[in-house]
Amino acid sequence: MPSMLPGAPWLLAHKSMLQQDKPQKISLQGHDYVLWLDENGEAQALPDACPHMGAMLSEGWCDRGKVVCPFHALQFNSAGCTVLPGSGKETLPQLQPLKLIIHGDFIWSYGDHEPVIPIPTILKEIAESSEFIGVAGEYSVKTELLPMLLNMHDYNHQNGTHRPLFEIKKVLFDKFIDEGHHSHAYYRMPRAQTSTKDILANPALLAMPKVIEAHLENFFPMMVLFHGTTFFGKIKQCHIFVPESATHTRTYVLVYGQTNGALGNMALKMLRSSVLKLVDTVIQQDADILHKIYADIPQKIKLNNEVGMDWVRRNFESFPHIVTPNMSR
């Protein structure tokens, strides 16, 4: 039952991921698009294949807010119109723009589909109340959307997938609150001593407590928020998922911080790049295991605390409807 959940909103990018004058390729639900910033710094998107001879517009450049094809240098505006050499006037649209929904720095899209579920407002709230630390762990993973989501809601994989990093001793599951497409999971993970080697490789590990108190807030299907606490204050990792095609899913993490006073501020400034690097390492480990799973193997064994995965499967199968059971406990 592979599906890319038509009608869900997907966060294509945070504005900081785009550079003025540099078009970028974005894939969504089996289509490739070129995404760029126009003269006013607003994000625009067109199908990536040039209507002349099919060159990738994302490999081109920008000129006064238009995207320029790298093959014969035709320029397209955000409506998909171009001016043919010698004609002096604009053509009708040759490309159908991808509809983007811009919320502050967040660039959302429903792709070709009519919306069936709303865009969550939480990112706007986080952006207003926290400091943006950066983007990390961006990977296009050769996996369908469902296994990607299952991995993110799997509270038992720390000891396998992330074993070399955190040295989690066990997972103590506290509570799951099921509110349909929105849910919360609370659990604690006591850690063994981190090795000096790991700390040298990832100084941000020093900021991690002996017991990681995890609070995951889940927004089906596009996002999981990890609310974390470190000695410098609160950290919010927004894990984003984008179904690129039936076989590939992109993920990346927007990291925000709320520091506790001047000292925390300073610590965060110093640790900023290692915090991002630590997140990157975690996502790399997730991407790595996702490349090493046989597809469509019936699950014969069930572990404790798979409630997050049960929640994902229920919502996936019944999308966009919400059916029982309610999995709160």
Residue 2's alpha-carbon distances to 160, 219, 221, 243, 311, in angstroms, are: 26, 20, 14, 11, 17
**Strands, DSSP E only, in the chain?**
10-14, 24-28, 31-37, 43-47, 61-63, 66-68, 75-76, 101-103, 106-109, 131-141, 172-179, 182-190, 211-219, 223-230, 233-243, 249-259
> What is the spatial distance between Cα 183 and Cα 186, in angstroms, rounded to a whole number?
10
Q: Is residue 210 involved in binding ligand FES (CB under 6 A)? A: no
Q: Is residue 286 involved in binding Fe ion (CB under 5 A)? A: yes
Q: Is residue 72 involved in binding ligand FES (CB under 6 A)? A: yes
Closest approach of Fe ion to the CB of residue 161, in Å = 5
List the one residue out of 95, 85, 93, 84 whose CA is nearest residue 50.
95
Q: Is residue 306 involved in binding Fe ion (CB under 5 A)? A: no
Q: Is residue 146 involved in binding ligand FES (CB under 6 A)? A: no
Stretch that binds ligand FES, among 50-58, 102-110, 215-223, 250-258 (CB under 6 A): 50-58
286 binds, among ligand FES, Fe ion, none (CB under 5 to 8 A by kind): Fe ion
Residues 6 or more apart whose Cβ sits within 8 Å of residue 38: 44, 65, 66, 78
139 binds, among Fe ion, ligand FES, none (CB under 5 to 8 A by kind): none
Q: Which is nearer to Fe ion, 23 or 228 (CB)?
A: 228
Q: Is residue 95 involved in binding ligand FES (CB under 6 A)? A: no
Query: b/e for 214-239, b at 16 or more Cβ within 10 A?
Result: bebbbbbbbbbbbbbbbebbbbbbbb
Closest approach of ligand FES to the CB of residue 42, in Å = 23
Q: Which is nearer to ligand FES, 63 or 125 (CB)?
A: 63
* Binding-site size, ligand FES (CB under 6 A): 8
Q: Which is nearer to ligand FES, 69 or 290 (CB)?
A: 69
Q: Is residue 53 involved in binding ligand FES (CB under 6 A)? A: yes
> What does the binding site for Fe ion look like in residue numbers (CB under 5 A)?
286
